[in-house]
Chain A
Amino acid sequence: MTFTGLVGRICLFPLRAIIRACVVLRIHPNVLTFVGVLINFAAAWALALGRFVTAGFIMIVANIFDFIDGKVAVELGQVSEFGGFWDSVIDRFSDIALFIGLIYLYSHLGRTDYVMITSLAMMFSIMTSYTRARAESLIARCKVGFMERPERIVLFMIGAFTNRMAGVLWVILVLSIFTVADRIILTYRELRTTGREAVV
């Protein structure tokens, strides 16, 4: 077993109990998704105030909701197309909120360089999701590139708990640029292979 696989299994253990509790209480998965984004707004507020450790703990709670909503939907037999759409939309709000918290903090500290770095990281993070969503309306699958939402969230937590947010932002920025580029190139190649790139 790999190191990240082992970490995933260990984290899944307490999450199973939470999922079971939500299923017993019959909490609707869309409600869990919405509660998750509200808690993420609180994390963004803590980031804006420079309280990184507090933000880290709030992010853990928020992302428990984010992680379990899909699993609860499956357990309750409430998987729906709207649920998938709602989850994706709400995830973007959560992503943007965390970045805005940092932008507020860095602008308050008078650090325009990091305001720019955070803004660019936010732009490419959003484009990572958009390129895949748009590509998959044209080709079957576009799951390439390293920096997806789970990686971003874990990096945010590491940055918050260890006060290494600058390094984390650089990693998110560079790898998100690569991911967006990967997805554009893959889509172009797939469409060229099927001869559809000439169709306007």
Chain B
Amino acid sequence: MKNPATLPGRVLWNAFFWTYERATWQYDLMVIAILAFVWLTPPDWLGDPTAHGSGPIGWLLDRLR
């Protein structure tokens, strides 16, 4: 299987076929993306059974309105 030629394609490809070790900058990037999803996604969007509210994104959207 060959890597895709375009940069976004390569990024997605390497994220899916993950071969990076821990404590590499690619690993750090993935950790940041995961933490951003977990902490910034409003619990209401996910229908979280134990947490409620709109979270930081909801707060920001409210401010922008």
Contact = CB atoms under 8 A, between A and B. Distances in A.
Contact of A171 (B25, B38, B48): B38
Main secondary structure of the interface of A (DSSP, over half): helix
A2 B27 contact: yes
Range, interface on chain B: 20 to 34
Contacts of B24: 2
Given A144-B18, A164-B51, A4 B41 contact: no
Range, interface on chain A: 35 or more
B61 interface: no
A179 B43 CA distance: 26
A83 interface: no
Contacts of A1: 23
Given A166-B46, A167-B46, A155 B51 contact: no
A102 to B, nearest CB: 10
Contacts of B1: 189
B39 interface: yes
B50 A2 contact: no
A170 interface: yes
Contact of A158 (B38, B47, B48): B38
A165 B18 CA distance: 24
Contacts of B37: 167, 170-171
A166 B48 CA distance: 5
Interface in B31-47: 31, 34-35, 37-39, 41, 43, 46-47
A104 interface: no
Given A155-B34, A166-B47, A171-B34, A145 B25 contact: no
Given A164-B38, A182-B17, A4 B23 contact: yes
A166 B51 contact: yes
Contact of A3 (B31, B34, B48): B31
Q: Which 6 A-B pairs have the closest CB atoms?
A: A5-B23, A166-B48, A167-B38, A146-B18, A111-B49, A166-B46
Interface of A: 1-5, 8, 50, 52, 105-106, 109, 111, 113-114, 144-146, 150, 155, 158-159, 162-168, 170-171, 175, 178-179, 182, 185, 189
Given A158-B35, A165-B48, 7 more contacts: A114-B47, A144-B18, A162-B38, A164-B38, A164-B51, A167-B46, A170-B46
